[in-house]
Structure 1
Amino acid sequence: MSKPAQQSILTTIAAYIGVLIGYVNLLWLMPYVLEPEQIGLFKTIQDMALLLVPFAQMGIGNGITRFFPRIKHQKYAFFSFSLFLGMLGYALVVIIFLLFKNPIMTSFSDKAPEVNNFLQVALIITFFSVINTLLDAFSRSFLKIAIPSLIRDVLLRLLMALLVIGYYLAFYPFHFMIWGMGGVYLLAMLAMAGYMVHIGIFHFDFRWKGIPGSFRKEFIQYNTITLLGTAGALLIMKIDSLMVSSMIGLDANAIYTIGFSIAVVIEMPRRAISQVAMPLISEKFAANLLDEIDVLYKKIAVHQLLICLLIFLLIWVNIDTLYHFVPNKEVYQAGKWVVLLIGLGKLTDILFSVNGEIIVFSKFYVFNITATLLMCAAVILFNLALIPAFGIEGAALASLLAMFFYNLLKFFFVKIRLGFNPFTKGIFTILFTGGISWAVSFYLIPVFEPVLLDLLVRSSMVSLLYLALIYWLKAAPEAMDLVINKIKSIFYGRIN
């Protein structure tokens, strides 16, 4: 097996292990050990820090990956220059943060005053995260992705778990645990730097005069464009959490965060499909194979909706059972409608297929930044309007509305500019099938007293009905043929 293939497999394994650890941390460990207000404070500080990261690193992480092949002969000067820009960006963010410190503190002083005691922790986490992101990008440029992924996805979450367990065992008080988050990100950064030293790619070279001025200008321009898109996308993911804390309280943010985390499982297959689709779309644009991109657009829409809608159904028909396993479920179960609304929002992303990826690799890529910034403004405005009226459900509804209009805007742009349309008969057939499967679960399947039995029976019946209808109605014939042939090969292989 080739080294790139091995790296890819190891990275995938690390990503899924990291997701599993993350869900154990958030859905079981934290609710078991911490009070809702403590979880809310923990996540608010972490989300605030991560929200600052793309602004501080100024899009340099993506720029390193894109421009590294052109500067290999001066790679360590490029590395040092990138780190310098990252630290400069962090310094600018700190200055701006301090200038607006009073308004920030005022926004939390009423409902979540505890946040104001730990703003320095957010800045510390931001610093270590910025450096770690740049080290990760540089390592990735050498095609060393498995260990950085292990550090990012597994080690960091394990250290967070140990930090919470240490508090549970009374090794230190709660405020020390919050400050300890900075130590966790420091250890992750040191692990990344240590790995790079071990493989011999951690060197500083301050002879920047050898880097052409035109190259530096292009590098900084690209980073600026990337910054707007990356920061906007992260703002969309994190701003609702911060606004829930500031407008309702930390306990509400804990409930919202757990509900949000359950819902985002729905889009995991979409992320994987996107990673595979991006190089294909890029290649086809380079070859001007627009008709093939349109075909791919339609196929991806059908296949990712087929998978993700089933996951959504399995989560929603079992939502009360899923909350049964969360410690202090009577508190956190109030977030079940957050799961529904955020889940529907994620389904809009899935339904409109890879419209964002198509725009990014087309000559109209700047529009993606415009659309992202418009969505950021929409999220904030919707949250300001809906949170006072509907609480955490208002925040979830704000995200749903923003995601829908965001995707609708990109859909019309792709349709008008490129003539592509992801909607086929299969899309509507799958949606119809999903509706029938939910109705059968809600109206016809009785509730069984043992929760595990109810989970098993309900999940099995909904899955079988959903897949049977998909097959009978020929909603996704290619996908179903692939599944059936795989089952046949396994079955006959065992017989022979």
Structure 2
Amino acid sequence: MQIIARQSVLTTISSYIGVVIGYVNLLWLFPYMLSPQQIGTFKTIQDMGLLLVPFAQLGLGHGITRFYPQVKKHQNAFFTLSLAFTLLGFSVIAFLFVTFRQQIIAAYATNAPELIDYLSIVLFITLFATINSVFDAFTRSFVKIAVPTFLREVLLRLLITCLVSAYFLEWLSFIWMIWGLAGAYLLTLLLTTGYMLKLGIFKIDMAWRVLPKKFQTEFLRYSLITLLGTAGAMLIMKIDSLMVSSMIGLDANAVYTIGFSIAVVIEMPRRAISQVAMPIISEKFASNLLHEINDLYKKIAVHQSLVCILIFLLIWTNIDNLYHFVPNREVYEAGKWVVLLIGIGKLSDVLFSVNGEIIVFSRFYIFNITATLLMSIAVILLNLWLIPVLGLEGAALASLLAMIIYNLLKYFYIKIRLNFSPFSWDLFKTLTLGVAVFTFSHYILPNIRNVFLDIGVRSLATAGLFTAGIYLLKIAPSTQEMAIKKIKTLFQRTS
């Protein structure tokens, strides 16, 4: 847990710096400098490119993490083999994208015809992001994820800030701004490559024969199977945005995207913990330390729930204040309920802990095929049903229902096969505390006319009540004791 905690803190810091930049971009910069239609175009192109990444990657991210412990002596050959598979996967996706280009155009021709002129940029975003994701997997195997996370979460968003500002100042045309988005992904890739060179883990070795044929076959087979799990997670993140653009329009996608992006902040700690936990889980499965994995499953569920539920509470109690600062807020505040629905969905991911990671690194990883196929079908059908009926809220509700179904499937499978469970008395107390504080902040806290004062009062009251509840209910007592000791040590040093 110490390795997980240290790297999680570093990655969480980068993630939240990125979140702040993302907030500035999406809640102020984009609405101020771009029209809703332009925002919708920008985000749809980006989402489309990222949606193709897990397919182009062939699921190699999880495969690298799982199989790396077996080939540490030949890591350079393993790295080169993975890169070759990645380029092959991208080639297949690029071929299919070009082949079905007319069908893609037809899907957006009615409600988002402006998008058609920018479709060629999609593949460049996919290529650079795909290679970068494989590089991330290698740095993760060395438990060196802080710098790649900074590049991905912070630098990339800063580059987007610069692109939009350059367009607003008329230094770039809109189409060159979109091309610049692909350039931002390329720069991030180049810097990640430089970091790997510095660590000494970026070395091309074409001697693949040192890796047994059986190993290569199993590695590729495992990656292709886990591809479905990775693709499913990305699908639920991006498909609703693409379907909103196709079925309603680019303007609606701008509103939806801003609401969705606010909600995604809730699961940032979970992402950071998951990235660090994956190689730990893989190692423990390799050593058959099943009881330790089950303990980790429970501990992660409690700790990430404490953080993520508090973030959800702070966001929702200040939701009107957040939209107050959005330029043209009368257009974008329609996405408020998107925040609530997606936020609850993200909390379901948090409460069920690292269930996906456990399946991926267990001998039952093939279950990802069933779970992901069911989830993918569910999210598409739910969107087709609910978007025409409820509009933006329908897309958000479809994602919420799909996330809950997906997590329940994985939970019951892990429970039956491994007898693991993320649930504990501490987790129950955390959830109960969250509901109580939500009720207080939503129904009892008064509204104050001064926005800044209202934010301060609501945030302090919500955070104070939640923190006091953690202490009084003695949730995660060992962590509390460790935190208190560190605070005392800090005060002793400064005194």
TM above 0.5: yes
The answer to whether structure 1 residue 179 and structure 2 residue 179 are counterparts is: yes
User: How far apart, in 1, do the equivalents of 2:141 and 2:351 lie?
Assistant: 33
Aligned partners of 2:321 and 2:455 also within 8 Å: yes
Partner of 2:247: 247
The answer to whether structure 1 residue 407 and structure 2 residue 407 are counterparts is yes
Tell me by how many angstroms 1:411 deviates: 2.0
Structure 1 pair 363/98, CA: closer, same or farther in 2 (3 Å)? same
Alignment of 1:13-412 (within 5 A): 13-67=13-67, 78-137=78-137, 147-193=147-193, 204-206=204-206, 208=208, 211-279=211-279, 281-282=281-282, 284-286=284-286, 288-412=288-412
Amino acid at match of 1:471: Y
Mapped pair 1:457 → 2:457: yes
- Aligned residue identity for 1:125: I
**1:258 aligned partner, one-letter code:** I
Pair 425,198 (structure 1): closer, same or farther in 2 beyond 3 Å: closer
Counterpart CA distance in 2 for 1:254 and 1:289 is 47
Counterpart residue type for residue 372 of structure 1: T
Matches of 2:296 and 2:163, distance apart in 1: 45
Question: How has the CA–CA distance of structure 1 residues 421 and 241 changed in structure 2, closer, same or farther, with 3 Å as cutoff?
Answer: same
Tell me which amino acid in the other structure corresponds to 1:251: D
**Deviates most, 357-366 or 90-99:** 357-366
Larger mean Cα displacement after TM superposition, 464-473 or 345-354 = 464-473
Bigger-Rg structure (1/2) = 1
Are residues 243 and 421 of structure 1, via their aligned partners in 2, closer, same or farther at CA, if it must alter by over 3 Å?
same
CA deviations on 1:153-208 (whole Å, 9 max, x unpaired) are 33322222211111011012212211222222233334444555677765555555
Greater mean alpha carbon deviation, residues 451-460 or residues 350-359: 350-359
Distance in 2, matches of 1:341 and 1:136, equals 30
Contact 2:274–2:354 under 8 Å retained in 1? yes
SS of the residue 1:110 aligns to: coil
Could you tell me how far apart the structure 2 residues matched to 1:201 and 1:281 are? Answer: 22
> Distance between the aligned counterparts of 2:479 and 2:184, measured in 1?
43
The alpha-carbon distance between structure 1 residues 36 and 423, as it changes in their structure 2 partners (threshold 3 A), is same
Between 1:296-305 and 1:365-374, the stretch displaced more is: 296-305
Q: What one-letter code is carried by the residue in structure 2 that aligns with 1:375?
A: M
Amino acid at match of 1:273: I
Distance across 2 between alignment mates of 1:416 and 1:7: 32
**Mapped partners of 2:398, 2:144: distance in 1:** 39
Q: CA deviation at 1:482?
A: 4.6
CA contact (8 A) 2:318 2:455 kept: yes
Q: May I ask how many residue pairs the two structures share in their alignment?
A: 493
Q: What's the CA shift for 1:394?
A: 0.6
Distance 1:93 1:346 in 2: 29
CA RMSD in angstroms comes to 3.2
Q: Take 1:207 and 1:290, find their aligned partners in 2: how far apart are those partners?
A: 35
Matches for 1:424-463 after TM superposition, within 5 Å: 424-463=424-463
Contact 2:19 2:265 in 1 (8 A): no
Question: For the structure 1 residues 472 and 186, does the alpha-carbon distance in structure 2 shift closer, same or farther, using more than 3 Å as the test?
Answer: closer
One-letter amino acid of the structure 1 residue matched with residue 170 of structure 2: A
Cα separation, 2, equivalents of 1:7 and 1:276: 7
1:197/1:441 Cα in 2 relative to 1: closer, same or farther (>3 Å)?
A: closer
2: distance between equivalents of 1:266 and 1:13?
Answer: 14
1:331 Cα deviation (Å)? 1.6
Per the alignment, do residues 490 and 403 of structure 1 end up closer, same or farther by CA in structure 2, a change over 3 Å counting? Answer: same
Distance in structure 2 (CA, Å) of the matches to 1:405 and 1:88: 33
**Compared with structure 1, are the counterparts of its residues 122 and 447 closer, same or farther at alpha carbon in structure 2 (3 Å cutoff)?**
same
Q: Deviations over 1:233-275 (max 9, x none)?
A: 1112111111111111111111111111111111122233334
Cα distance, 1:75 vs structure 2:
5.3
Asked if structure 1 preserves the Cα contact closer than 8 Å seen for 2:52 and 2:126, the reply is: yes
1:23-75 deviation digits (Å, cap 9, x = unpaired):
32222221221111111110100110111112112123444455456556665
Distance 1:175 1:427, change over 3 A: same
- Residue 18 of structure 1 deviates from its aligned partner by 3.2
CA contact (8 A) 2:28 2:327 kept: yes
CA–CA separation in structure 2 for the residues paired with 1:56 and 1:49: 10
Question: For residues 182 and 472 of structure 1, do their structure 2 counterparts lie closer, same or farther at Cα, with a shift above 3 Å needed?
Answer: closer
Give the secondary-structure state (helix, strand or coil) at the position aligned to 1:129: helix
1:132-153 deviation digits (Å, cap 9, x = unpaired): 3344545666776555444333
The 1-side partners of 2:144 and 2:348 are apart by 34
Higher relative contact order (Cα pairs below 8 Å, separated by 6+ residues): 2
The Cα of 1:17 is off from its aligned counterpart by 3.4
Change beyond 3 A, Cα 1:15–1:440? closer
* d(CA) in 2 for partners of 1:112, 1:198: 45
Tell me how far apart the structure 2 counterparts of residues 303 and 386 of structure 1 sit (CA, whole Å): 34
**More divergent stretch after superposition (215-224 vs 379-388):** 215-224
Q: TM-score, normalised by structure 2?
A: 0.88
